[in-house]
Structure 1
Amino acid sequence: MTPGFAFSRHALALAAAAFTAVGAQAATTLIYCSEGSPEGFDPARYTAGTTFNASSQPVFNRVVEFETGGTKVVPGLAEKWDISADGLTYTFHLRKGVKFHTTDYFKPTREFNADDVVFTFERMLNKDHAFNKATSPSPSFEYAQDMGLPENIAKIEKVDPQTVRFTLKKVDAAFLANLAMDFASVHSAEYADQLLKANTANDLNVKPVGTGPFVFKRYEKDAQIRYAANEQYWRGKAKIDNLIFAITTDSAVRAQKLKANECQISIYPKPAEVATLKTDPNIKLMSENGLNIGYLSLNVKHKPFDNADVRRAINMAINKKSLVDAVYQGAGQVAVNPIPPTMWSYNKNVKDYEYNPEKAKALLAKAGFPNGFETKLWALPVQRPYNPNGSQTAELVQSDLAKIGIKTQIVKYEWAEYLKRAKAGESDIGMFGWTGDNGDPDNFLATLLSCAAVGGSNYAQWCDKEYDDLVNKAKQTSVLAERTKLYEKAQDVAKREAVWVPIAHSLVYQPMRKNVEGYKMSPFGSVQFYGVSLK
């Protein structure tokens, strides 16, 4: 990663103290206490919210975007678009006058145009693209893969410098919303060409160049990321001049920093910390129902999880109500399906597996494991909106499984390593979660459990033809009632096959100092600082 400068708590304290200096230039510096380090700064290569918050949100734009704080698709780098009557052709009319960032490693010679959009997407669709071959290791672009974009996009055409046309093979009802997601952030083709010529293609992931509201300055792994406001941002310069991500993995330390004004916005307090934060006169606490799911995945490629009765036994063995009460402390509800109940097409008729250790033991015996077995349980190493305490969750699950004879060894990895190993199919029982990225059920049901997502975000490594046919058919119709029926049936299949133990949907809290103005919580769990100011 790009080397940074010396980082210390003292340095952040000095920066924060400067907020009290009337008229001081440092008054436009905002410090955000984030929960973990990004995997990189090329949004197309990743799926984690921690990475998107540090890369796509401050640095990049998409062709279309979600309105701040909402789910409506609005113009982004395209000022308007046309969709053909058959739903297969999308033509985007791009903005003029948009400039890419000028940095100490790139000086653009032209404005944003169609070449940049074509490069951005062709790189994701064509594994033999010259830039991919020059990158080591060659990226997998798992989000695009998980959604089946390479199979469904027939071609991307540059009609003229300000017009791009996408042609699909099949109707995709979620296509426009998909393009508003973080992975679809638009890169500079000119910058990519420069890197290719210099044989430094990997720099695209560590020295990002976008058109977004903030310019990347430097990163010190596990410590901090620094950005400066983009003076030439096409929507107008941000209200804060400098943005600092203070990477702080411990929730209690984040709360202390927020109280001490060492950061002005923090992510995800633990439920036990909420009451204390509410009593602080200098802090305000926003909250909303999260569009999320926390779950355990059971890797069907690893024995004995290839046996459905073993998977059902595990579902019956875990006391989810007790777990949610202990871990979420009133800020979560027991999950039944892979999608939250606030999302359209949620199947309220699906019955969860009852908590019944005795029946679970009987199922294990039927499957050939009367004395249980030994396995590994991966504990979530960072606090996420869908799970406030991975360690505590793991301990409770471990205790419940021990009661039916399943002995688990709890293992942990650093967050980026955790995701890398999980995508490679290494987990047995894995602890994961998801916050929706576009408000569509496809973003959960296909992205996390389809055959196309095996090797990506489908950590259960599960490929079921019946399930896959249902979610694929649902994408190919724009009739909401038909899509709903198909997704409801898919939830029935998912419950029957029991490749997950759905744990909880959480309430999400966002704490900040009272002098922060203009901040809007995102239903997708992202943090957005454009439009935010400090009084």
Structure 2
Amino acid sequence: MVTSDTLSQDVKGFRFIMLTRLVRKGITPCIAASILLLAAVACSDTPSEPAAPAQQPTVAAASQPAPAATQAPAATAAPAAMAPTTAPATAAPTAVPTAAMQTAASVGGDKEIFIVTPFAPSSNGAIETDDSGILMSAGATETMLKIDFDGQVKPYLAQSWSLSGDDTWEFTLREDVNFHDGTHFDGQSIVASVSYLLGVPNPPRGFTADNIASVEAPSEYTVVMRTVEPDYLMPSRFATRPTAALSPAAYQERGDGPPNPIGTGTGPFVIEGDISIESIRYVRNEDYWDGLANLSAGETLFVPDGLVRAAMLETGEVDLLHHLAISQLPLFEGDSDFVMHRAQQPRTVTLNVNNRNGLFSDLNVRMAAQHAIDKDAIVASVLEGVGDPAVGPFAPSEAWVNPDLAPYEYDPERSKALLAEAGHAEGEAQVALWTYPSRAEFPAMAVALHEMLNDGGFSTEIRLAPWGALVDDVFAGNYDMFLVSRGHLLDAYDPEGFLSADYTCDTVDVSNYTNYCNPKVDELLARARTLSDLEERNEIYREIQQILHDDASTIFISYTEQIFAHGNHVLNWQPHMLEYYTVTTELDIAN
């Protein structure tokens, strides 16, 4: 059975393409009938899955030697750990005029870019939410440190940083930065930002009273932060998007709501107008501290439907597309008018099961579902060979992967036997599989999973709905199965944040998709946070992976390869490993 919450008007092409390809590649024809309904779902007026979190490097404490980098393929290699760094000096600032918030003529003339991406803001630009990624991608906000395109932690609004003892970090700030509203940037700006994050209901990992003892600005351009326990990932945490600095006015005038990011950031572009679920527009900051941007303005459009996004690029309605649907690759491959980028990401397509409530609270039922799914067939057919079948949460190229995990073999008969051991005759174990359509491949993948699970003895129905209509029930434990794309490097080039968010008892009802709780995992993660040695932490992460695997806690489907495309008139653009920086000073378009 297939249900959907919202129907789209523009899906015939996708239905035909997926029907043809799935049948041709060996997935049985009964999938096709369901695709005719599932591919019709869209959520263009509803918030979607948060923007992709991705790879960040680790930063070594000043008193620790940099650990050796683990060899990995170039696309996902872990950069070497960095010691505290100092940036070159820059000229003194000038006051920002009111006109800095208006569109102005560029040195090279007026140039505007149009970008399309699947994930819309869900919280009106609240800095503590995933909306912070939209603000940074638009070039409106900046953090103390940055993860550069080469994967290294580098100075940004802070020129240098250092560690005293085990728990005191000192950051020296730039002296030439102004906010968009003309207010000068200083240490108190960072104190205000961190203090706000410490008080929100769901702060970024690492920014809670349990971790941060104090933050102060002892001088105009110095910030000192003390942690409760050693936290060797703190510098890279200050490169995460919610830690972006906003003008004091954003906090003073917020009332009971979040600070307003419009006209209060420091970036090379200023948000113009409202932040809506349809689009965000930005104009050049004419007094940016690091030089004027090549572009005079731009607009990012939020379109969940992958078919529509591809059509917008093909017809020239947009210049740059994030997350090209795999089914649309033939439109652009080999066409000299377009440039394609395929980038591996620390992200795994995951079928979460509810470990707390219902059928999947039984280990035998969870193991049955593992054996019912043919991951190789899904990658080969639905994903057309883009990506690789997954065994655990981490790809083989990642330094902390457990290479000894043995995959659950595809065996429908074994699945039926395990269900029988759990007391369920064939067809009696009724489950609902939920997913969302803003990941263009998910409707077809859900149909393939539906058939495989039914062949393995389950009785499965599919619910396809916008992300926002599903996620609260998932976190509350009111679901059976949830197909999701999950990034696993959330705070640093280290999986501690992901494992803590998704697999600890404290995060049940908050961010724990599987509703999984095992005190042993909590104990191991608590120990890992106190270790400065990277390999010691990795050994703990490998042990946790084995525990999750033995508990059959999650069905990991595939490791992700993301596809971006743009017209050949777009200059100086490259995908960022975190998708943090899209609209930069260097980005340009040919006249």
TM range (shorter): 0.7 to 0.9
- Paired residues, number: 480
| SS of equivalent residue, structure 2 residue 436 | coil
Alignment of 1:126-165 (within 5 A): 126=199, 139-144=200-205, 147=206, 149-165=208-224
Q: Pick the aligned partner of 1:312 from 363, 367, 381.
A: 367
Corresponding position of 1:90: 169
| Displacement after TM superposition at 1:229 (Å) | 1.4
Deviation of 1:245 after TM superposition, in Å, equals 0.9
Q: Secondary structure of the residue that 2:502 maps to in structure 1?
A: coil
Q: Which amino acid aligns with 1:143?
A: P
Task: Report matched runs for 1:49-198 at 5 Å.
Answer: 51-57=131-137, 58-67=139-148, 69-86=149-166, 88-102=167-181, 108=182, 110-126=183-199, 139-144=200-205, 147=206, 149-196=208-255
SS at match of 1:290: strand
- Whether the 8 Å contact between 1:266 and 1:511 is mirrored in structure 2 is yes
1:199-214 equivalence runs, <5 A: 201-202=256-257, 204=259, 207=262, 209-214=264-269
Q: Does 1:472 align with 2:551?
A: no
Is 2:334 the partner of 1:279?
yes
The one-letter code sitting in structure 1 at the alignment partner of 2:530 is Q
Residue type of the alignment partner of 1:65: K
* Residue-by-residue CA offset, 1:331-360 (whole Å, 9 max, x unaligned): 110111112222111111111111111111
User: Residue 503 of structure 2: SS of its match in structure 1?
Assistant: coil
Residues 240 and 533 of structure 1 are in contact (CA less than 8 Å); yes or no, is this contact kept in structure 2? yes
The one-letter amino acid of 1:489's match is: E
Q: Does the Cα contact within 8 Å between 2:419 and 2:457 map onto a contact in 1? A: no
Give the unaligned 5+ runs of structure 2: 1-106
Residue type of the partner of 1:115?
Q
User: Structure 1: how far apart are the matches of 2:481 and 2:306?
Assistant: 25
Within-5 A mapping of 1:69-468: 69-86=149-166, 88-102=167-181, 108=182, 110-126=183-199, 139-144=200-205, 147=206, 149-196=208-255, 201-202=256-257, 204=259, 207=262, 209-219=264-274, 221-371=276-426, 372-383=428-439, 388-435=440-487, 436-437=489-490, 438-468=492-522
Distance 1:220 1:235, change over 3 A: closer
Q: Is contact 2:124–2:276 with CA below 8 Å preserved after alignment?
A: no
Native 8 Å contact 2:115 2:299 kept in 1? yes
Q: Displacement of 1:55 after TM fit? A: 1.8
Whole-Å separation in 1 of the counterparts to 2:476 and 2:574: 36
Separation (CA, whole Å) in 2 of partners of 1:220 and 1:193: 20
Q: Does structure 1 residue 35 correspond to structure 2 residue 89? A: no
Following superposition, the deviation at residue 188 of structure 1 comes to 2.5
The aligned amino acid for 2:483 is M
Matched with 1:18 is none
Q: Structure 1: how far apart are the matches of 2:479 and 2:136?
A: 28
From 503, 507, 517, the equivalent of 2:557 is 503
What is the one-letter code of the residue matched to 1:204? P
Aligned residue for 1:448, secondary structure, equals: helix
The CA deviation at 1:205 is 5.6
Q: Is the 8 A contact 1:40 1:205 kept in 2?
A: no
Partners of 2:211 and 2:252 lie apart in 1 by 27
Determine what percentage of the aligned residue pairs are the same residue. Answer: 24
C-alpha distance in structure 2 between counterparts of 1:395 and 1:70, whole Å: 39
Q: Deviation of residue 220 (structure 1)?
A: 6.6
- Deviation per residue, 1:468-517 (Å, 9 max, x gap): 22223222211122112111111101111122100111222210111111
Higher percent of residues as helix: 1
- Change over 3 Å in CA distance of 1:202–1:412 after alignment to 2: farther
Q: Distance in 1 between matches of 2:528 and 2:306?
A: 40
C-alpha distance 286-445 of structure 1, shift in aligned 2 (>3 A):
same
1:111 maps to amino acid:
H
Cα distance, 1:363 vs. partner?
A: 1.6
**Match of 1:99, as an amino acid?**
N
Q: TM-score, normalised by structure 2?
A: 0.76
Q: Is the contact made by 1:339 and 1:444 (CA closer than 8 Å) also made in structure 2?
A: no
Q: CA deviation at 1:379?
A: 1.2
1:214 Cα deviation from its structure 2 partner: 1.6
Equivalents in 2 of 1:253, 1:150: separation in Å? 44
For the 8 Å contact 2:127–2:258, the answer to whether it is kept is: no
Any idea what the Cα deviations from partners look like across 1:116-153, whole Å, max 9, x if unmatched? 21222222223xxxxxxxxxxxx522533xx5743111
CA contact (8 A) 2:501 2:507 kept: yes
Q: Match for 1:338: what amino acid? A: P
TM-score by length of 1: 0.84
**Alpha carbons of structure 1 residues 487 and 183: separation in structure 2 relative to 1, 3 Å:** same
Range that drifts further, 414-423 or 161-170: 414-423
Whole-angstrom CA distance in 2 between matches of 1:404 and 1:284: 42
Cα deviation, residue 254, structure 1: 1.7
The Cα shift of 1:36 comes to: 2.9
Please state how far the C-alpha of 1:181 moved relative to its aligned partner.
1.2
Query: 1:250 Cα shift?
Result: 1.9
Inter-partner Cα distance in structure 1 for 2:374 and 2:494: 30
Q: What amino acid is the match of 2:493?
A: G
The equivalent position to 1:45 in structure 2, one of 120, 128, 139, is 128
Q: d(CA) in 1 for partners of 2:241 and 2:108?
A: 34
Taking the aligned partners of 2:175 and 2:108, their CA distance within structure 1 comes to 35
CA contact (8 A) 2:143 2:245 kept: yes
Q: Distance in 2 between matches of 1:390 and 1:412?
A: 9
CA gap of 1:428–1:159, structure 2 versus 1, over 3 A, is farther
Q: Which amino acid is the alignment partner of residue 405 of structure 1?
A: G
8 Å CA contact retained: 2:436, 2:466? no
Question: Deviations 1:17-58 (Å, cap 9, x if unpaired)?
Answer: xxxxxx9954x10000111311135454324xxx34422332
CA–CA distance in 2 between the matches of 1:433 and 1:394? 13
Q: Distance in 2 between matches of 1:156 and 1:246?
A: 37
Alignment of structure 1 residues 511-526 onto 2, 5 Å: 511-526=565-580
Letter in 2 for 1:524: L
CA apart distance, 1:176: 1.7
